[in-house]
Amino acid sequence: MRVLHAAAEIYPWVKTGGLADVVGALPQALVAEGADVRLLLPGFPAVQAALQEAEVVADIGAMFGAARIRLCRGRLQGSGLVAYVVEAPLMYGRSGNPYLGPDGREWSDNLQRFGLLGWVGAHLASGELDPAWQPQVLHAHDWHAATACAYLAAQPATPVRSVYTVHNLAYQGLFDAADFALLGLPARFMGSSGLEFHGQLSCMKAGLVYASRVTTVSPTYAREIAREEFGCGLDGLVRARDADVSGILNGVDGAVWDPRTDSAIAAPFSAEDLSGKARCKAALQQALGLPQDAHAPLFVAVSRLTAQKGLDLVLSALPELLAHGAQLAVQGSGDPALERALLGAAAHYPRRVAVRLAYDEAFAHQMVAGADAMLVPSRFEPCGLTQLYALRYGTVPVVRRVGGLADTVLDLVEGEASTGIVFDDATGAAMADAMTRAVACYRDGAAWRALMLRGMAQDFSWGPPARQYMALYRQLLDAAPV
């Protein structure tokens, strides 16, 4: 089984969210299941620096506005995975965020930058760029690689099958329809049944329309995006492809997220010996400037600060939470208004609330390990990885019943099956009630410990999802052998 994964991010080199974690872990899990897996990545500086034993396999030349494009092949440092890297210094040789410039705005040539990624993906899949290796399945991730499915479909009688994974339907890669010509696709691909979306060009639709199969990163989210409430204007298309859409829950990379071996946290711990978690809590409180109070329940949120993530609900419920003697810590960045509101709360409650407006992977580990409870009150959540990390670290998740959160956390009402606190309505009152229930459980030491241990006993490793992807690939190949 030969599979090519195309994506814009990969942990630990380029990361803005959970996409990077998935691309960093899933291919290795597929290799463990016997697949021959290779990656296709843009030549961002960090990726190029990580590519070892690099050799040029194709001199592509000038296209998409870049004068010099080459395709290199090598192995990623540490992982051993074979990766193809699109070397285009004019397009990818930029530091910082892969999508945004220093002014916080999207790069003006993003359509060309990621159109090139899709073009290379399709032509690599067809065997044109590396005759020594051709995949049977092209697996594209999110809008950045979605055009690969369209370019593949534009090739006559290609035997290669494609899978498109939606990591977040809200980020669709929308561009001016007049720029369609920059992609070099046949004109028929720019219509309502193609990439056109309400007068714009949608890269997301390239995957949703032209992939052989579409997956999302949790079963519940696969059902939700077929509804108007969660479909972001694409629910009709999702319903039309209902038989081709399925959800496979993301996993957790146990080599990165393991409280027994995590070098980023203050002390190791396990389900058999939780003593180190108390040391992690004390160290986190100290680092945040909060009183080192072992009896104060410490709630944290590690998140992008966007409307999707529901941190405004936490702010609405904050007075009630603090009235119960709890502490709150937030790490993340995003919407300026939400950032200001969180900083305002920290200034108003300097000994009770701490806010870090930054992306800090190591400190995120410390937050997950040191907290008592993890808040994930999302309005929608394709999968969510934070609650999975929390469960693994004995940190009780408090989540809204949507998407992957609904698939991974069971509420206290489930009794001996429960692993967290779940609420339904996206309101401050529902958030406050959920946190109040969490504090009440925390005060019952035996009940809280049992909840922690049930969470730590869950298996969200990448093995089961990898086997589901392998089964999906086999279905495609059985239907149209390569």
Q: Write the DSSP string, 380-393.
A: --SS-SHHHHHHHT
247 and 290 within one domain = no
Cβ atoms of residues 142 and 8 within 8 Å: yes
pLDDT of residue 157: 79
322 and 198 within one domain = no
Q: Quick one: how far is CA 1 from the chain centroid?
A: 25
pLDDT in tens, 180-196: 999 999 999 999 999 99
Q: How far apart are CA 420 and CA 418, in angstroms?
A: 6
Q: E strands along 218-282, which residues?
A: 245-247
Q: How far apart are CA 36 and CA 14, in angstroms?
A: 23
pLDDT in tens, 297-332: 999 999 999 999 999 999 999 999 999 999 999 999
SS3 340: helix
114 and 21 within one domain = yes
246 and 316 within one domain = no
Cβ atoms of residues 381 and 348 within 8 Å: no
Tell me phi and psi for residue 425, to 5 degrees. Answer: -80, 140
243 and 284 within one domain = no
Q: Is 85 a domain residue?
A: yes
Q: Is 131 a domain residue?
A: yes
Q: Is 259 a domain residue?
A: no
pLDDT of residue 186: 96
The size of the chain, in residues, is: 482
Closest CA to 216 of 144, 162, 166: 166
Q: How far apart are CA 423 and CA 420, in angstroms?
A: 10
CATH number of the domain that residue 134 is part of: 3.40.50.2000
Q: Is 112 a domain residue?
A: yes
Q: Write the DSSP string, 184-203.
A: T--GGGSSTTTTEETTEEEH
pLDDT of residue 291: 97
Q: Is 348 a domain residue?
A: yes
Q: Is 269 a domain residue?
A: no
| CA-CA-CA-CA dihedral for 200, 204, 206, 207, to nearest 10 | -170
Q: How far apart are CA 7 and CA 139, in angstroms?
A: 9
470 and 452 within one domain = no
218 and 307 within one domain = no
How many structural domains compose the chain?
A: 2
pLDDT of residue 266: 98
287 and 200 within one domain = no
48-74 residues labelled b (16+ CB within 10 A) or e (exposed): bebbeeeeebbebeeebebeebbbbbb
Q: How far apart are CA 94 and CA 91, in angstroms?
A: 8
Cβ atoms of residues 467 and 33 within 8 Å: yes
**pTM of the predicted structure, to 2 decimals:** 0.94
Q: Is 257 a domain residue?
A: no
Q: How far apart are CA 75 and CA 179, in angstroms?
A: 35
Closest CA to 217 of 259, 252, 254: 252
Q: How far is CA 6 from CA 152, 379, 419, 439, in A?
A: 13, 28, 34, 44
pLDDT of residue 441: 97
pLDDT of residue 480: 65
SS3 206: helix
Q: How far apart are CA 188 and CA 192, in angstroms?
A: 10
Structure tokens at 457: 């006993």
Pairing of strands 200-202, 196-197: antiparallel
Q: Is 261 a domain residue?
A: no
Range of the domain at 29: 2-251+463-479
SS3 165: strand
473 and 391 within one domain = no
473 and 425 within one domain = no
123 and 45 within one domain = yes
Name residues of the chain where pLDDT drops below 50. Answer: 481-482
Q: Write the DSSP string, 128-144.
A: SS-TT---SEEEEEHHH
393 and 363 within one domain = yes
